[in-house]
Amino acid sequence: MLKSNFKNKFGMFIHWGLYSLVEKHEQALARYDMSCEEYEKLAEIFNPVKYDPEKWVLLAKKCGMKYICFTAKHHDGFCMWDTKQTDYNIMNTPYGKDTLKMLADACEKHGMLLSVYYSNPDWHHKYGYNPESTHQWKAKYPDVCDTEKYREFVKAQVRELLTGYGKIYSFFWDIPPKIEDASLNALVRELQPGIIINDRGWSEGDFSTPERRSADSEGKHYEYMTEACNSVGQQSWGYRRGEDFFSKRFLCCSINKYMALGASYLLNVGPDANGEISGKYEKKLLSVGDWYNRTEGCLEGGAEDDRNYSVEGNKYFTSKKNGKTYLHFYDGLVSDAIVMRNFPCLPKKVRLLNSGKELSFTAEYLPEMFTGNADSINGRSLHIIGFDSDDYADEPIIAEIEWAE
């Protein structure tokens, strides 16, 4: 169920690690069948001298994002913080700085919430192999299995992550281990009271994590905390040279559908080996952020279910916030006008959030609705015109209705 204090948000997911040097995929070690020895030598040359976490945070803020989720450790087992549990970490590279601490400081400085991603599979650790789970392809020691010892290692790292980097908004386990151990989530909550935990860990969490999937087409608001995620790139979550980028329309449509139904949304980028979010990665984020900022916050912060209206001929969701009704045409409009049935009264004002302009409206008998009986209230429609839908063909269209009291 939803926590009473939960408010959905738009956030930035960041997949960054040694794999950025390969420039193919965050699981390049497995998917391109590199040897562990070859891959681990990348630590000897990893030197992201252009890493400036303040730029990341300011970019996220510019796009309307409220939190950043950072991959502290991905499946390769390489740790992006100053961990004392393994030498396989950022401190033992030419760069030699705690990248997570630098990001945490930048987030605190600019009022950005920080979340931590932690992979359960660990292809480097001696006891990381877990035959009960998935994503075990490149475990360095597949003949060694001691999940109890590995869990002690995980607990020690969780303690570091949740005591040395300030307040953490959420904890994102990845890849369900299919082993029940409630003590791990208990430790997370003990170290960070108020934190929320996803459902991919060692016991039941607080929120679900649909990944690269479409939202509920029926428009029913989520009864359980949900955080959807997708990347700006179709092939990889980490940096990929020559990536196939999703269109602005596709990404904005996905964000609109999930967030209009009360879910949070993480949009991922992969910084390059220098530590920069640049080129098409930055351009795509800014394009999506431009649309998102024009929604004026109607997608976040606890919009209510409001399915009392019928709009003819369009795909849409509805929501209600601060007494106003929002019509989310996530797949665009079929014309420059909409026809609404079952409306309570004439609106006080209707706005197109994409441009901010006020729209004209009348309550009338339209030809397609006219039954020949002018006395029949069933024929009356709320006719809202002037959407200029062709001008916003690459993004969802949102109308705000303020009803007359």
Which is the CATH superfamily of the domain at 10-294?
Glycosidases (3.20.20.80)
Q: How far is CA 346 from its chain centroid?
A: 37
**Token reading at 162:** 């949740």
CB within 8 Å of 22: residues ≥ 6 apart: 28, 32, 34, 42
The pLDDT value given to residue 348: 96
- Report the candidate in 53, 115, 42 with the shortest Cα–Cα distance to residue 77: 42
Q: Tell me the C-alpha distance between 37 and 30, whole Å.
A: 13
> Phi, psi (5° rounding) for residue 267?
-105, 120
Query: Can you give the pTM of this predicted structure?
Result: 0.96
Closest CA to 159 of 129, 189, 179, 182: 189
| Residue numbers of the chain with a pLDDT score lower than 70 | 1-5, 217, 303, 369-379
Alpha-carbon gap, residue 294 to 286, rounded angstroms: 12
| CA pair distance 37, 325, nearest whole angstrom | 58
Cβ atoms < 10 Å from Cβ of 304: 12
Model pLDDT, residue 216: 72
Could you please state the CATH topology (level 3) that the domain comprising 304-403 is classified under. Answer: Immunoglobulin-like (2.60.40)
User: Is the Cβ–Cβ distance between 264 and 9 less than 8 Å?
Assistant: yes
Task: Give the side-chain half-sphere CA count within 13 A for 246.
Answer: 24
Q: SS3 for 36?
A: helix
- Amino acid 277: pLDDT: 98
**Which bin fits 339, alpha (ψ -120 to 50), beta or left (φ > 0)?**
beta
pLDDT at 374: 55
* Domain ranges within the chain, ordered by starting residue: 10-294, 304-403
Distance (Å, rounded) from C-alpha 88 to C-alpha 124?
8
The answer to whether 359 touches 352, Cβ cutoff 8 Å, is yes
Sheet containing 113-119: order of strands? 196-197, 170-174, 113-119, 67-73, 10-14, 264-269, 227-231
* Residue 114 exposed, middle or buried by CB count within 10 Å (0-12, 13-18, 19+): buried
CA atoms of 74 and 120, how far apart (whole Å): 8
Within its chain, how far is the Cα of 320 from the centroid?
22
Question: Two tokens at 259?
Answer: 């967030």
Q: How far apart are CA 265 and CA 67, in angstroms?
A: 10
Q: What is the pLDDT of residue 343?
A: 85
Tokens of 18: 């040694």
